[in-house]
Amino acid sequence: MTIALLMVHGLVAVALLGAITHQTLAAWAPVRARPGSFLGRFRTVPSASFANAIVVLYLVSALLGAILYLYFRVDVRPALERDGHWPSLGLFDLKEHFISIGLGLLPAYWVLWRRPCADESRRMRAVLTAVIAFVVWWSFLIGHFMNNVRGFGQ
């Protein structure tokens, strides 16, 4: 059951990672990129349409992570503490903190993409998207790192 949840969590995280990376790059790429270029093709995708999917994927991923965290605390963390993986546990704690802060940003993120006002700068929207992208990338990499911290076959 735990392994199945972890797999689903990982798959949702991959989808979220792809969507937020695409949107972030599209938001930061130059507006007048050459039409045939990679960035030019990136910008032709309507980034705002990603917002709903990103909010849903973030919530689902956070929920699955919150469930798995219970198993992690009981079954995994004691072994990491015993082996002295303190910096790894610190990185994991940061992941949890960043995810919570990202959760709080979701309403503002959704408003900026789905109901933008004329007086709101696109740069601010891009900054907020980049912050959430950082949270997602950090969480993905640290989650993957924690999964492998004890090494293959241990």
Partner 1 sequence: MTSGLAFRRFAFTFGIAFAVLYVIALARDLALFTVYPSLGVVLFGTHHSKDVADPAIGFVAPAMYWYGWTATAATGALVLGFLAMLLPDRSTWRFGLAWVCVTPVLAMIACIYLTLPWFRL
The site for partner 1 (CB under 8 A) is made up of: 66, 69-71, 73-74, 77-78, 84, 86-87, 89-90, 93-94, 96-98, 100-105, 107-111, 115, 117, 119-121, 124, 127-128, 131
Closer of 98 and 140 to partner 1 (Cβ): 98
What is the smallest separation between the CB atom of 143 and partner 1, expressed in angstroms? Answer: 14
For partner 1, the closer CB: 36 or 119: 119
Minimum distance of partner 1 from residue 64's CB (angstroms): 14
16 or 55, CB closer to partner 1?
55
What Å distances lie between residue 9 and 13, 63, 83, 134, CA to CA?
6, 9, 26, 18
Contact residues for 67 (Cβ-Cβ < 8 A; gap 6+): 5
For every residue of 33-51, DSSP letters joined together read --TTSHHHHHHHS-GGGHH
Distance, CA of 134 to CA of 139 (rounded, Å): 8
Shortest distance, CB of residue 146 to partner 1, whole angstroms? 13
Distances (CA, A) of 78 to 3, 75, 84, 85, 119: 18, 7, 10, 10, 51
DSSP labels, 126-142: HHHHHHHHHHHHHHHHH
**Which lies closer to partner 1 via its Cβ, residue 50 or residue 98?**
98
Specify the residue, 46 or 84, whose C-beta has the smaller distance to partner 1.
84
Yes or no: say if 33 and 43 are a contact pair by the CB < 8 Å rule: yes
Least spacing, CB of residue 39 vs partner 1, in Å? 23
* Minimum gap (Å) between residue 48 Cβ and partner 1: 16
